[in-house]
Structure 1
């Protein structure tokens, strides 16, 4: 169970600022220690220095974001006007700034290259870019994909993302403060499916033309074990057709359709965007980052839009359609596995 919000504000947020000051002051020492400890390793495995630089940069940006949040809170009448449009926009601008800085640091330190394949827009497509809301359905393969997706929605497409997230993410102080001031949802681990669907409907039903609801239909990060558990779950429910199609997915878990369907029903005027990506698939936990972080990495992504008028409206057709799209994502990942300099 998470500590109460007041405890998180009074303890975790100041703790991040203290850690930032200590980390900056002792940075030369940490770099020397890590460099010395890595001398016996071949160059591809000397990832400790890069991780130290990134950790310090992250802490510094977190601290700046927290100070900015304090300023925005004061400017909003000590929190009284936070829900007004102008103050919401300032918080989206803060997230855009924070993610762009983290993205820039990650590209330089980890030598990332990002390639996004998107449809060439027609003049009609360009005119409709911000005339209707969108529901974004993406594969889930680690925290890196979520970060990049939200960053591009904000910076590249001018969207205001709405996300249903695990409540544990509120242990990150800046995320806790900013995201709780915007239309998002944190759900505790043991929340019932009806509770999660209720949050999805709430967020979807309130969307404007420049909003984007982000959903990960797999329900969690892909692992081979979770993939088989998803197949077995379908078999136990007697859904033999869906189970057979799930077996054909090599890189994805079977999509759970209820969240996507709930969003579509709550916002029928929304276009639906599907996102495929690959490149950070193996970096899910801190242990993965430490053991598998490559010298450089190529991240590829592809998205396509289904206009609202083309989205199926009955449940059975929606489930088949969702599996169709998931099979297309799986095939794209197979054809676009990136090359990288391995960690070992």
Structure 2
């Protein structure tokens, strides 16, 4: 790609006058170049670390895991710095500071909507909270070579949202959340996937099929989020009894649901707002049903926050 850079610059610059948006093809191509360059360099550096660890023998030790977390933080810093400059993207964070969780691990529950929101979340956790994240994420992200190699060297778990029979996701999530340190953050997306109106309706229908009519009615009142799937979150709570809970809402990218949406919105010139809430462990109910009700209540609060803060011209989540 770098050898052919002059061709890309000439081609995208020639397309820019006939495509809406200021230099959209050129700016988009540059962000892709930066991402692929970061990915290629990461793979080379991680190959060197594999050799240095004794052909992978010591990769899982705290020393080498710390190096990999530093790689993630540095790479994201470079990529987000350039992406924000080129795409004129602003990320604003509201909520508790890192001092709100001194010496305690945290369980981070985030809504899932829009392209790259998980990257923004992890970048914020590492840069603002100074945490080492343990992430539960969809197995489709393992198609990315650098993500696949990296997250198989640090505590993380690729899962299938609708697994085959016999796959115990709650057990896997509980194992990942076990033994959290004071500088750890366990990250989970209880909705199980990016928000779309169709997925929202499927989540409501699923609750009704399970005979949970009251929860289905509550889910129908939430316009901007999917009904949360509590199993993984409850497993993490049980596995990390000392952890506080942090809930995260964001808006600004949630209306971009397809590749066509992303292209249409570039150059982005967007403002992403992230809202964080801290809940001390002592305030979380002990019983399973009470915890499910607590999680739904928080998701209703997140839905209200999104309604108040998302750009007024965007459509709602009703299908």
TM-score by length of 1: 0.86
Q: Supply the distance in 1 between the matched residues of 2:162 and 2:111 (Cα, whole angstroms).
A: 22
Q: Supply the distance in 1 between the matched residues of 2:37 and 2:312 (Cα, whole angstroms).
A: 32
The Cα shift of 1:294 comes to 4.5
After superposition, give the CA deviation of every residue in 1:23-42 in whole Å (9 maximum; x if it has no partner). 11211211221222232234
Cα RMSD of the aligned pairs, angstroms, is 1.9
DSSP-derived class of the 2:18 partner: coil
Larger displacement relative to structure 2 (67-76 or 187-196):
187-196
Number of aligned residue pairs: give it.
312
DSSP-derived class of the 2:182 partner: coil
**Where does 1:253-264 land on structure 2 (aligned, <5 Å)?**
253-264=226-237
Q: Is the 8 A contact 1:166 1:188 kept in 2?
A: yes
Structure 2: unaligned runs, 5 residues or longer: 314-319
Aligned in 2, Cα 1:205/1:42: closer, same or farther, shift over 3 Å? closer
DSSP-derived class of the 2:116 partner: helix
Q: Is the 8 A contact 2:110 2:247 kept in 1?
A: yes
The Cα shift of 1:87 comes to 0.9
Partner of 1:4: none
After superposition, give the CA deviation of every residue in 1:252-272 in whole Å (9 maximum; x if it has no partner). 011111111111011121111
**1:322 matched to 2:295:** yes
Partner of 1:93: 70
Q: Supply the distance in 2 between the matched residues of 1:220 and 1:80 (Cα, whole angstroms).
A: 35
After superposition, give the CA deviation of every residue in 1:55-74 in whole Å (9 maximum; x if it has no partner). 11111111111121122112
Partner of 2:105: 133
**Where does 1:13-162 land on structure 2 (aligned, <5 Å)?**
23-43=1-21, 46-119=23-96, 126=99, 129-162=101-134
Q: Supply the distance in 2 between the matched residues of 1:171 and 1:114 (Cα, whole angstroms).
A: 27
Partner of 1:236: 209
The Cα shift of 1:206 comes to 2.5
* Aligned partner of 1:277 among 250, 254, 266: 250
Q: Supply the distance in 2 between the matched residues of 1:81 and 1:267 (Cα, whole angstroms).
A: 26
Q: Stretches of 4+ moved more than 6 A in 1?
A: none
Q: Supply the distance in 1 between the matched residues of 2:269 and 2:170 (Cα, whole angstroms).
A: 39
After superposition, give the CA deviation of every residue in 1:221-269 in whole Å (9 maximum; x if it has no partner). 0001111111111112221111111111110011111111111011121
The Cα shift of 1:190 comes to 5.6
Q: Supply the distance in 1 between the matched residues of 2:277 and 2:283 (Cα, whole angstroms).
A: 13
After superposition, give the CA deviation of every residue in 1:140-191 in whole Å (9 maximum; x if it has no partner). 0034210010011111111111112222322211111111011111235663
Q: Supply the distance in 1 between the matched residues of 2:71 and 2:294 (Cα, whole angstroms).
A: 37
Structure 1: unaligned runs, 5 residues or longer: 1-22
Q: Is the 8 A contact 2:109 2:247 kept in 1?
A: yes
Partner of 2:275: 302
Q: Supply the distance in 2 between the matched residues of 1:295 and 1:339 (Cα, whole angstroms).
A: 17
